[in-house]
Structure 1
Amino acid sequence: MSPPPLHVLTEAEKNELLLAQHEMIERLVARISELESLVGTPRKTSRNSHIPPSKDDFGKRGGKGGKPKAGKRPPREGKHRPLTETPDKTERIMAANCCHCGTDISSQAQHCRHRYDHIDLPPIRPIVTRIELFGARCGGCGRRYRAAAPAGMEPGTPFGPGIRSLLAYLHHSHHVSFERLSRIAAELFGLTISQGAIANAFRRMEAGMTAATKAITDKLLTAKIIASDETSTRTNGIAHWQWVFLSKDAVLHKIAPRRARSVAEEVLGGHQPDVWVSDRYAGQQELGKEHQVCLAHVLRDVQYAIDCGDTAFAPKVRDHLRWAIRIGKRRSSLKDTTLAAYAAKADNLLTRLVQMPVAHPAGRVLLKQIKAWRSKFFIFLTNRNVPATNNISEREIRPSVVFPKVTNGFRSDWGAQIHAGYRSVTGTARLSGKSALVAIRELVDGRFMVA
């Protein structure tokens, strides 16, 4: 609705209207200035910022999904499926007639001319065991008695550990929703199970998950090097954060309603590792005696400065960090004295770089960032067990980023905690060579142990 004509307004109403228009003009001028400042700056992508690759425009600007490069694809070595070492059954088929002229050759000696495997699955059906507990009235005391239920088949849920383990594996490892789990059970296994029964099966794992998580936490707190990362998730429609903490022997996931530093401090419980590995988020700082920041994140910021037009400072920083990372990959073949010399060289060269004059605005922003973090760049050159990037944490947390996109997130607090416990158990088991299905079956059976 347009405002009334000025001649019908009182003096006070005119002043109020002019004031509102003046405020609106100021907001529009500020917005125009903001948009003008963005003109000419490069678009932020996963290559030059912390934006995930899913936000990139696939197929544009020569990125992934675009037109394939011209030229013939180089030839590749042929591959074939190896034969099974221990086949369940072997069928030896003798020729009865010559395939060329039809002569009877059944009496001739023959040898194997071709060998291959035919692989198939039998119909998968659940094994149903009817339990009948007999009893009567005692002739001695006159009281009724009944036989004890067999171990592992007590009254209650009719679904055994194999079914519960498979349901958890398909849901948390392969992101199969409750509705699809119910369909898979009916159509693939001939098993009728409702979504509510699936939820109840997961809730029964809560006590075992809690005990396993406690053992994993105790193992984590013995580590000298801990890497960590966090990502957003949703529980009951409310924003939460999923944290992951890793050592060489343990993986711990935790879903909390906040991203604050206090979450990590609660997990550590006063323990301070020798080295903490993470990105540069403030809540991840000063949790270890030393801190190795993720150089992959730093290189993205460097790349953004280059994309903005800095051709002097940022390229030199990029080349220096890449050189240091290459040295880190050769650590196992280097002597201690050689590695110490490389560490000193890396630090000295970075010192010279941050002392050089920087003219480009993007380069000055990058210089300020590097000065703030430079003492945390090359810890991996002084400690062979420290990674140069936080890629291990990002790989570990990636499935949990995909999970809510497929299953629409968590609808209860206990569901989120079950997922965090599942990821902790299976992630820790993977470090000792166990598959996720084996690990969760051991948990359901009460046999899960942290190596």
Structure 2
Amino acid sequence: MGSVNGDDLTKDELLSRFLQLEQRVEEVEQENTQLRKKLQEKDEQIEELETRLRKYENPHTPPSKRRSGTDESPTSQDDEDDNVRTDGGTPGRKDGHDPEWRSTADPDEEIEVTCDCCPECGDHFDESVGVSPRLVEEIPDPQPPEITRYNRHYYQCDSCGTETVATHPDCPDEGQFGVNVIAQSALSRYDHRLPYRRIADRFEQLHGLELSGASAWHATERAARAGRCEYEQIRQEIQDADVVHIDETGIKRDGEQAWIWTFQTVQHTLYAVRESRGSDVPAEVLGEDFAGTVVCDGWAAYPAFSSNLQRCWAHILREAEDAAEKQAEGEPIYQALRQVYVALQARLESDLTVRERADLQRVARRELESLIERSVPDGPVATLLGKLEGGLDHWLTFVGEPAVSPTNNAAENALREPVVLRKVIGTLRNDRGMFVHETILSLLATWRQQGRNPYEELRRVVSSNEMISRAHAVPAVKTSE
């Protein structure tokens, strides 16, 4: 016999209650297990969302890429749709901007559109009382491919035994596709961002030309090989430039990490795909004796390459704003840094002499030094001041050199197209893919900077390459024996 709460219970009743309590404990443990599982899932979701948020809201993200104030997830927006705004704005002309109208084209043909009688009552018209002109622009129907057979005669010299094969300007030295197919394949890939199988589909749909995705790839590779000489000319122009903007971003090479670098001047853009993110890349592309000014962000490879730098103010201001949001001591530093930059920009709008620029540079340096000397607790603001101090010799280069920009926006904008293509391509498979990628991207970007038509320029370099290769070809020699 036992007693619980003053009531006498039998052994069987005690055992029954014990079993009930044991069952309840087991149920509670199961509930706790389920709750812990749900809590773990929630923690994983929170971690994933925070990771995505850091991608779009951090001091290294330019304003154009930051999320808008909507509830829409950043990944739900189509990065390739130019009409989707990520800064909360709307497409179209902004207030205060002059409208742009299409220029009126001259007609190639005029057709008189007349009517004999009234469509309502059927009464006959005597003559027209006016004209309501309308210009209509149309493109011709897609044309089927022209298939030409070139019977290339070959000859043997009776004197020296040399064999010569006759050439024709429209007959390529290799492959069965002509200049237009090669140019359109490269443009479809790198301008229209089409996969190679889609390029093949496009040729078949529009022109009835049957070719495989592999054939489209080989045609694009031929365009890259034809344009490589011009690529090296662009590199030479950039090596001789006074100011070069440089930036880099990640890309995959056969699934492994690689980097695509951009080197940009006012008239030229060069891309280089390398497996390194170190100072050896700018040394290779620009040459170790490069004497110009490099506009860049704070990546360590740049000061390791050159001491003549201009650090990007857009980056440091974003970092200062971010530090101010995280630590109260950062707000006055951010405001002071921003005021220095705005004041410098306003002062440089006037035509200053070399001496006035030097004086302005000294005054601005003292302002930065006074910010660096502020005492702040450890945290984001201390890190910010450390970056300011580390780049003290490189923040004010633009004050003394009029041709130098205070931001690296030019290089960041130049990387926009490779970043979009990265989403389409996924990974470059091998060295040949890296070669094609950097060559075609460089040619198209440079031609656009210079106001040239990319399609016509691609046709030109492919045609020129055929002529050059024939001019330098060594004919086969066969002895009389």
Tell me which interval the TM-score lies in, with the shorter structure as reference length.
Answer: 0.7 to 0.9
Q: Post-superposition shift, 1:154?
A: 4.2
Does residue 59 of structure 1 match 2:70? yes
Does residue 121 of structure 1 match 2:131? no
The superposition leaves residues 171-221 of structure 1 with CA deviations (integer Å, 9 ceiling, x where unpaired) of: 012211111111111112221111121122233335323322222222221
What corresponds to 2:216 in structure 1?
A: 198
**Map 1:5-44 → 2, pairs under 5 A:** 44=54
Does residue 317 of structure 1 match 2:374? no
Structure 1 CA distance for aligned equivalents of residues 327 and 301 of structure 2: 32
Does residue 50 of structure 1 match 2:70? no
- Is the CA contact 1:50–1:297 (under 8 Å) kept in the aligned structure 2? yes
- Is the CA contact 1:422–1:440 (under 8 Å) kept in the aligned structure 2? no
Q: Post-superposition shift, 1:156?
A: 3.9
Out of 450, 454, 459, the position equivalent to 1:436 is: 454
Structure 1 CA distance for aligned equivalents of residues 333 and 73 of structure 2: 26
What corresponds to 1:242 in structure 2?
A: 260
Does residue 414 of structure 1 match 2:425? no
Aligned residue type for 1:256: R
Does residue 381 of structure 1 match 2:381? no
Structure 2 CA distance for aligned equivalents of residues 381 and 161 of structure 1: 49
When structure 1 is superposed on structure 2, of 270-279 and 255-264 the one drifting more is 270-279
- Is the CA contact 2:248–2:260 (under 8 Å) kept in the aligned structure 1? yes
What corresponds to 1:158 in structure 2?
A: 176
What corresponds to 2:228 in structure 1?
A: 210
**Map 1:211-360 → 2, pairs under 5 A:** 211-310=229-328, 311-328=331-348, 330=349, 334=352, 336=354, 339-359=357-377
SS of aligned partner of 1:205: helix
Does residue 93 of structure 1 match 2:113? yes
TM-score by length of 2: 0.72
SS of aligned partner of 1:270: coil
Out of 435, 455, 463, the position equivalent to 1:445 is: 463
Q: Post-superposition shift, 1:436?
A: 2.5
Out of 130, 134, 147, the position equivalent to 1:111 is: 130
Q: Please identify the structure whose Cα radius of gyration is greater.
A: 2
The superposition leaves residues 368-389 of structure 1 with CA deviations (integer Å, 9 ceiling, x where unpaired) of: 2211112211111111110111
- Is the CA contact 2:226–2:465 (under 8 Å) kept in the aligned structure 1? no
- Is the CA contact 2:262–2:270 (under 8 Å) kept in the aligned structure 1? yes
- Is the CA contact 1:153–1:160 (under 8 Å) kept in the aligned structure 2? yes
Report sequence identity in percent: 20
What corresponds to 1:148 in structure 2?
A: 166
TM-score by length of 1: 0.76
The superposition leaves residues 96-132 of structure 1 with CA deviations (integer Å, 9 ceiling, x where unpaired) of: 4567876544335x333x3322222222124414225
Out of 367, 370, 383, the position equivalent to 1:365 is: 383
- Is the CA contact 1:229–1:393 (under 8 Å) kept in the aligned structure 2? yes
When structure 1 is superposed on structure 2, of 214-223 and 124-133 the one drifting more is 124-133
Cα pair distance change 1:431/1:97, threshold 3 Å? same
Structure 1 CA distance for aligned equivalents of residues 148 and 56 of structure 2: 57
Q: CA RMSD for the aligned pairs?
A: 3.7
- Is the CA contact 1:133–1:149 (under 8 Å) kept in the aligned structure 2? no
What corresponds to 1:21 in structure 2?
A: none
SS of aligned partner of 1:255: strand
Q: Post-superposition shift, 1:367?
A: 1.5
Q: Post-superposition shift, 1:321?
A: 2.5
SS of aligned partner of 2:250: strand
Q: Post-superposition shift, 1:269?
A: 2.5
Cα pair distance change 1:201/1:308, threshold 3 Å? same
When structure 1 is superposed on structure 2, of 242-251 and 294-303 the one drifting more is 242-251
Q: Post-superposition shift, 1:135?
A: 6.6
Gaps of 5+ in 2: 1-52, 75-83, 467-481
Aligned residue type for 1:253: Y
The superposition leaves residues 138-157 of structure 1 with CA deviations (integer Å, 9 ceiling, x where unpaired) of: 9x99x9x9983422214642
Out of 411, 432, 449, the position equivalent to 1:393 is: 411
Structure 2 CA distance for aligned equivalents of residues 56 and 80 of structure 1: 29
Structure 1 CA distance for aligned equivalents of residues 97 and 309 of structure 2: 44
Aligned residue type for 1:438: E
Structure 2 CA distance for aligned equivalents of residues 80 and 249 of structure 1: 25
The superposition leaves residues 291-318 of structure 1 with CA deviations (integer Å, 9 ceiling, x where unpaired) of: 1011111111101111113332222223
Gaps of 5+ in 1: 1-42
Structure 2 CA distance for aligned equivalents of residues 136 and 439 of structure 1: 32
Structure 2 CA distance for aligned equivalents of residues 312 and 77 of structure 1: 35
